[in-house]
Amino acid sequence: MENQFNVTICRFHTKAKNKLLIIGWFNQNEIGGNQLLVCLDKKKLPFSMEEIKIGGTSLRTRKGVTVNRQYYLWVDLPRSWRDCKCLEVKNFYNGVGNTAYSIPVSTLKKYEFYVQKYIDSVEAEKDSFQISGWYIDQGGIELRFLDDTGKEYPVDILRKSRSDVRKQYPENAPEEVIGFTACYTGDVPKKIRIRFEGPDRHAEDTATLLRSPVGKGVSFVGTAYKKVRVYYQQFGISATAVRAVEKLTGREESEYNTWLEEHSPSGAELEAQRTHKFAFSPKISIVVPLYKTPKKYLVEMIESVRKQSYENWELCLSDGSGEGSPIEGILRKYEKKDSRIKVVYNRNQLQISDNTNEALKISTGDYIAFTDHDDMLAPDALYECVKLLNEEPSTEIIYTDEDKVNMSGKEYFAPHFKPDFNPDMLYSDNYICHLFVVKRNVYEEVGMLNSEFDGSQDYDFVLRCVENSSKIRHIPKILYHWRAHKNSTAGNSGCKSYAYDAATRAIQAHYDRLGIQAKVGMTEHTGLYRSRYTIQGNPMVSVIIPNKDHVQELKTCISSLEKKNAYENLEIIIVENNSEEEETFAYYKELEEKHSRVKVVFWKEKAFNYSAINNFGVKHASGDYLLFLNNDVEFITKDCIEELLGPCQRSDVGAVGARLYYGDGTLQHAGVVIGLGGIAGHPFYGFPSEDVGYFGRVVIAQNYSAVTAACMMMKKSVFQQVGGFDEQLAVAYNDVDLCLKAGEAGYRIVYNPYAELYHYESKTRGYEDTKEKEERFQAEREIFRRRWEKILRDGDPNYNPNLTLQEANFGLDMEGVSKQLY
């Protein structure tokens, strides 16, 4: 059938008896004129169906159709279903159909009391293992880890949120969808049994811990067949065969690996780099602390430095393994082989900061780069840094994009394409991380690594460096490969809780040094941090709400301000814009009689002009802070205004925006990217509310070039300094333009996800659905394009040129990549 229905999940409801959930998608990405039937022994069953958007992500079928919709079929089974033989999903179009899916009842019976669970990964070494996965807690599920003899292993378990899994289990509360990482140190068995035990059900997975010659291992869990089956349903038998062979032979080539190959320098380009003569050729000291590093990784790290196309470097190694170091022999051979390699041999075992400091002591370079003992540099990493230093001689700090490399060193994944320097993001996450290069004078001013922050000593060091330099530049290229395995935070967010505590203290110490009154805490998302700013004084906030009729929406907005808002020193200015309904004016009168802080001002012009209306409202504002609100928003969190006001009080901040949701809970706004969709767009538009986004960018405070004025706080002084809203932009891009003007004046724009509201959007004005409106929109678009041509051409500094501007998901820009996977 042309519009085939593909079933990817069939499972029982986790709470209701005799109820199934069947999830699938159509080849044409919509049901169209098709009709689905669910039959049990050829008798139709009642079911309800929901169309669910896959938030911001999509897959591509064999025929090139982008699929971003799933269909959830909730099926009620009769009490007698166990006496039947087969359940089928049938797909009909114009009376002609086929069986899209079938499952024997004998198989269904096996899953009736199944524990919904999955093991994502298992990693092992000689003396430790780590297991990650998830399960649905259907009443007191406990985890146990045993070997074949029944010996139980006492593991440390970190439980965490799994928003990705929650999408597939909508009937469960967030706290019932449990992700976990289990860590164990000690003798490792050949096999481990993972038991999920509950009062009325249990399940078990078995993982074989296979050790490689270098002492590392990965496991095969008994779920490979299920993955292949789903992949076949999505992409077809040919692609599945190719993918299966690549998996089994270790030659899997992902979309990102294809991209990386095309964006890496060729042999000829590297040779040209080696012969290139820079006007400024600084020595770069690469500082690496070593501790019983596996020989394979140590050699790969050293060779990645020796293969650099820029040759004026020194590799400063400190072996903190202590007496009888297992890597001393390798290090002494390399010292003899290459005079640029220098080693400190420590007779005592050293912690990470002290070990790094020993390497720093022998460094003599003009710039210092930091590398972990098992990671690798791209061959042009130092060349690109020196190239930037020649182009921007004032640069004192450089950081680059990075990715992760698996334990074999052959597969690259999880690329982190970063923004240019983004201080609010740095307060939320050590996104700078690798590769980090700092000028010697900055290092000498801030001092060595501080052992008080071991585990996040690099985070503390980066924060101290950026305090002492504003000459920070970012190279948007993958120049660092971070080894993802158990002993690195890159591959393990579950077994280094002390590191996250140290990170919290490092950010707090940064604030304390700068005199910023804020308190730092961890979030539910491991490795991401939240800053709560102390409100200075009790400033008045002027809330400005344009309105034309739509009393119910306005009532919801005002009611939420009254009942779901804890901040009291505010005035509410409703800018009346040519309403026609008597009910509207009656409500205005009621508001002003009941609430002394509400006033209605009247805009007389007939033509709709959002910019002029808000500028008019500001003229009546008494507050030092302006909160622009659409009339179709509703507060969710009581501290929303405080969350906006806190960062807005900082001297470097001009405006702060909120996280907004549609009425159905999907994301409407989490910042604005210039150039997205052509001019400007909202990243993560339509994502589920629980989605954290690309490297957590939905859920962390950060700087964007703009935020939406549907809910935006701005200093009144900044608003006046930049001339307010441009009234030439009557409808489109006026808030983005205002933010860019503030940015041009030297102020930062902050997106704060902890200020949360619903936004029911466009109920006041309507859509661009007439010729006149479309012409106006295009005219305003052209004004914006001409005015901000440079940023549109050069790219949004808070985005990354390697990411797509066609979709809102921070996806990889594959334009120009000739080699396709399948």
Taking residues 98-105, report their average pLDDT.
94
What's the pTM value of the predicted model, to 2 decimals?
0.77
Q: Find the range with the poorest average confidence among 225-234, 333-342, 746-755.
A: 225-234
Taking residues 274-295, report their average pLDDT.
95
Question: Cα–Cα distance between 734 and 723 in angstroms, integer?
Answer: 12
Architecture of 541-794 per CATH?
Alpha-Beta Complex (3.90)
- Buried/exposed 664-674: b ≥16 CB within 10 Å, e otherwise: eebbbbbbbbb
CA-CA distances (angstroms) from residue 208 to 135, 147, 185, 399?
20, 10, 17, 39
Q: What SS3 string covers 620-677? A: CCCCCEEEEECCCEEECCCCHHHHHHHHHCCCCEEEEEEEEECCCCCEEECCEEECHH
Residue with tokens 């919709």: 69
Q: Find the range with the poorest average confidence among 254-258, 448-452, 545-549.
A: 254-258
Pick the CATH number of 5-111 from 1.20.120, 2.60.40, 3.40.50, 1.10.287: 2.60.40
Taking residues 44-67, report their average pLDDT.
73
- Is 487 a residue whose pLDDT tops 70? no
| pLDDT for the residue 254 | 62
| pLDDT for the residue 766 | 46
Backbone angles phi, psi at 216, to 5 degrees: -100, 165
Q: Find the range with the poorest average confidence among 7-11, 483-487, 774-778.
A: 483-487
The pLDDT > 70 percentage for the chain reads 89
- Is 490 a residue whose pLDDT tops 60? no
Give Cβ neighbours of residue 404 (< 8 Å, ≥ 6 apart).
412, 413, 414, 481, 482, 483, 484, 490, 491
Residue with tokens 């949701």: 661
State the average pLDDT for the chain. Answer: 87
Out of 170-184, 690-704, 744-758, give the one with best mean pLDDT: 744-758
More confident of the two residues 753 and 141: 753
> For 117-228, which CATH class?
mainly beta
CA-CA distances (angstroms) from residue 520 to 545, 554, 610, 639?
33, 35, 38, 16
| pLDDT for the residue 230 | 36
Query: Would you place residue 217 in the very low, low, confident or very high pLDDT band (cuts 50, 70, 90)?
Result: very low
| pLDDT for the residue 253 | 41
Are 742 and 654 in contact, with CB atoms under 8 Å apart? yes
More confident of the two residues 759 and 252: 759
Taking residues 406-426, report their average pLDDT.
91
- Is 464 a residue whose pLDDT tops 70? yes
- Is 551 a residue whose pLDDT tops 80? yes
Scanning 468-564, the segments in alpha helix (DSSP H) are 497-514, 551-563
Output the six-digit token pair for 138.
């259907």
List the end-to-end C-alpha distance of the chain, in Å, as a whole number. 23
Are 611 and 583 in contact, with CB atoms under 8 Å apart? no
| pLDDT for the residue 122 | 80
| pLDDT for the residue 682 | 94
Query: Would you place residue 247 in the very low, low, confident or very high pLDDT band (cuts 50, 70, 90)?
Result: very low
Residue with tokens 């004004």: 783
| pLDDT for the residue 380 | 97
Beta strands in 198-264 (DSSP E): 202-211, 217-221
| pLDDT for the residue 418 | 97
For residue 650, which of 455, 452, 425, 424 has the smallest C-alpha distance?
424
For residue 656, which of 669, 674, 675 has the smallest C-alpha distance?
669
Q: Find the range with the poorest average confidence among 414-418, 496-500, 532-536, 645-649.
A: 496-500
Q: Check: CATH 3.40.50.970 for 269-496?
A: no
Give Cβ neighbours of residue 732 (< 8 Å, ≥ 6 apart).
777, 780, 781, 784
Query: Would you place residue 233 in the very low, low, confident or very high pLDDT band (cuts 50, 70, 90)?
Result: very low
Are 52 and 63 in contact, with CB atoms under 8 Å apart? no
**pLDDT tens by residue, 338-357:** 999 999 999 999 999 999 99
| pLDDT for the residue 818 | 52
- Is 208 a residue whose pLDDT tops 50? yes
Question: Greatest CA span in the chain, whole angstroms?
Answer: 91
- Is 378 a residue whose pLDDT tops 60? yes
| pLDDT for the residue 768 | 54
Output the six-digit token pair for 756.
């949360």
Question: Cα–Cα distance between 507 and 466 in angstroms, integer?
Answer: 12
Q: Can you give the residue ranges of every domain in the chain?
A: 5-111, 117-228, 269-496, 541-794
- Is 483 a residue whose pLDDT tops 90? no
- Is 225 a residue whose pLDDT tops 50? no
Domain 5-111 matches domain 541-794 at the CATH topology level: no
**pLDDT tens by residue, 762-813:** 534 444 557 888 888 899 999 999 999 999 999 999 999 999 998 888 988 8
| pLDDT for the residue 187 | 84
For residue 783, which of 710, 723, 714, 726 has the smallest C-alpha distance?
726
Query: Would you place residue 156 in the very low, low, confident or very high pLDDT band (cuts 50, 70, 90)?
Result: confident
Taking residues 145-157, report their average pLDDT.
89
**pLDDT tens by residue, 595-648:** 889 999 999 888 889 999 999 999 999 999 999 999 999 999 899 999 999 999
- Is 362 a residue whose pLDDT tops 70? yes
Q: Find the range with the poorest average confidence among 65-74, 673-682, 738-747.
A: 65-74
Taking residues 273-296, report their average pLDDT.
95
Query: Would you place residue 496 in the very low, low, confident or very high pLDDT band (cuts 50, 70, 90)?
Result: low
The pLDDT > 90 percentage for the chain reads 65
Taking residues 470-482, report their average pLDDT.
96
Taking residues 702-709, report their average pLDDT.
97
What single string gives the DSSP state of each residue in 15-64?
SSTTEEEEEEEETTSS-TT-EEEEEETTEE--EEEEEEE-TT--EE-TTS
**pLDDT tens by residue, 502-543:** 999 999 999 999 999 999 999 888 889 999 999 999 999 999
Give Cβ neighbours of residue 68 (< 8 Å, ≥ 6 apart).
29, 53, 54, 57, 58
Question: Cα–Cα distance between 182 and 437 in angstroms, integer?
Answer: 35
| pLDDT for the residue 665 | 84
∠ CA 537-649-442 to the nearest 5 degrees? 125
**pLDDT tens by residue, 10-25:** 999 988 999 999 999 9
- Is 298 a residue whose pLDDT tops 50? yes
Give Cβ neighbours of residue 605 (< 8 Å, ≥ 6 apart).
612
